[in-house]
Amino acid sequence: MLKPNVLYIHSHDTGRFVQPYGQPVASPHLQALAEEGMTFRNAFSAAPTCSASRAALLTGQSAHSSGMLSLATVGTGIPRPNEHIANYLRNEAGYTCVLSGFEHVSGQSDPESGAAYLGYDRFVGRNVSGFTDFENGAEQATVDFLQNHPPQPFFIDVGFLETHRVNMRNVNGAFSEDGQQGDGRYTSAISPLPDRPEIRSDVADLECAVQRLDRKIGNVLDALKQTGLAENTLIICTTDHGLPFPEMKCTLYDRGIGVFLIMKGPGGFQGGLVSDALVSQIDIFPTICDVVGIPRPAWIEGTSLLPLANGESEAIRDSVFAEVNWHVAYEPQRAIRTDSWKYILNYPADSSVLWPALDTSSELLSWAEKGWPNCDPSPSKDICEQLDWHLRSKDGEELYDLNSDSLESRNVSQRPEFAEIKLNLRQRLLAWMRDTNDPLLQLESDASPDLE
């Protein structure tokens, strides 16, 4: 029997801000995919930063284990491309592997070189210039690939720039090059942002970007159906991390690491299933291996999602882990999240320290030097800076009771009644760091005097 194809669709900075997760934004194609497939309501990225989260997903291991500690934008790609899913599927199972659109992990200057470095057979689509070209051809290139009877089995990686802001160095932080704007009069701010007109307008623009993303995904999925490939294709649709707003992207709160994850196809991912189980994006690689029928490689840290899809189990893990290293500035953090608790360990950091490989002539430099560098420029950021959000300090340890504080607004790490819970989570986090040879273990944390 022919091995199943794999269609991996990913967006930029979307979090869970889509219709299947109850958000007030029309995304009918994603909704239809959810109703036909399986939705994971408690899916998390391994990092709330672009390249690190993608590297973790595509190698099935933590970001630091993959070697991706910063942005590929500054030329630091994953150091072991043989561990990339495309390379593995091509070498172990004879898949034709194609990259369409944005990838953000190779560190290469052009998409063809990036695709080759990561193990893809070829790149399709138009060249993408930084973060400024939202008509990058990924949608049409993918449709063309599917309609031209591709060799099977295939793995196609489809990367959309939405819902990233048009240009992260643009102080306006728009979501659309053509000036498309939403109507902020009839929307609301997203918690925990203050309810201000400028922020409501910013959210309305985000809604337009989500709708544009949904239309593109819909066109790709329609082409898959029309070519008769859908029944034997595993569809994976997700994003890299949370929304590009203050206190979301680049943070370890749920609004930073929470992602939408919808799958459909062989393995039981069908029928409108919904799972509340904790899952990490590093679980996707071993899931693909199981569906395809090939052994999991030795470096895998994730766990297959198949037991959730076929009803064998209601849970596959009791916690997920996440991390921040570099984005534009150094901000080392680690976290463990369970069903009921979140524990964050903040290491000493100097936000003025930039990634050493960053070209001093880069526009990123001026952005980083303005303060609050790991928060993307936007109208919402401007308002929050006026309210001194960027001056807020973080404790060495953060502990949140998610059952009573889902917004993670009350740090109870110093409350004596929670000391045992904090100690247990801290020990589990440090054990994970040791097991994965986390480079942060070499640093001294400014949390508790004794972290052992």
pLDDT of residue 71: 84
Rounded to whole angstroms, the Cα distance separating 430 from 442 reads 12
CATH 3.30.9.10 fits 320-442, yes or no: no
pLDDT of residue 321: 99
pLDDT of residue 352: 59
Rounded to whole angstroms, the Cα distance separating 394 from 345 reads 10
* Tens-binned pLDDT, residue by residue, of the chain (452 aa): 789 999 999 999 999 999 999 999 999 999 999 999 999 999 999 999 999 999 999 999 999 999 999 888 776 789 999 999 999 999 999 999 999 988 999 988 788 999 999 999 999 976 554 544 455 589 999 999 999 988 889 999 999 989 998 743 344 566 665 556 788 899 999 999 999 999 999 999 999 999 999 999 999 999 999 999 999 999 999 999 999 999 999 999 999 999 999 999 999 999 999 999 999 999 999 999 999 999 999 999 999 999 999 999 999 999 999 999 988 888 899 999 999 999 999 998 765 565 555 555 555 555 566 678 888 889 999 999 999 998 888 899 999 999 999 999 999 999 999 999 999 999 999 999 999 999 988 865 544 444 54
pLDDT of residue 448: 42
Contacts 24+ apart (CB under 8 A), 64-69: 64/323, 64/325, 64/436, 64/437, 64/438, 64/439, 64/440, 65/299, 65/301, 65/436, 65/437, 68/105, 69/325, 69/326, 69/439
3-class SS string, the chain: CCCCEEEEEEECCCCCCCHHHCCCCCCHHHHHHHHHCEEEEEEECCCCCHHHHHHHHHHCCCHHHHCCCCCHHHCCCCCCHHHCHHHHHHHHHCCEEEEEECCCCCCCCCHHHHHHHHCCCEEECCCCCCCCCCCCCHHHHHHHHHHCCCCCCEEEEEECCCCCCCCCCCCCCCCCCCCCCCCHHHCCCCCCCCCCHHHHHHHHHHHHHHHHHHHHHHHHHHHHHHCCCHHHEEEEEEECCCCCCCCCCCCCCHHHHEECEEEEECCCECCCEEEEEEEEHHHHHHHHHHHHCCCCCCCCCCCCCHHHHCCCCCCCCCCEEEEEEECCEEEEEEEEECCCEEEEEECCCCCCCECCCCCCCCHHHHHHHCCCCCCCCCHHHHHHHHCCHHHCCCCCEEEEECCCCCCCCCCCCCCHHHHHHHHHHHHHHHHHHHHCCCHHHHCCCCCCCCCC
The residue extents of the domains of the chain are: 5-309, 320-442
pLDDT of residue 170: 44
pLDDT of residue 415: 97
At the topology level of CATH, where does 5-309 sit?
Alkaline Phosphatase, subunit A (3.40.720)
Residue 273: C-alpha distances to residues 23, 40, 311 (Å): 18, 9, 10
pLDDT of residue 10: 97
pLDDT of residue 369: 62
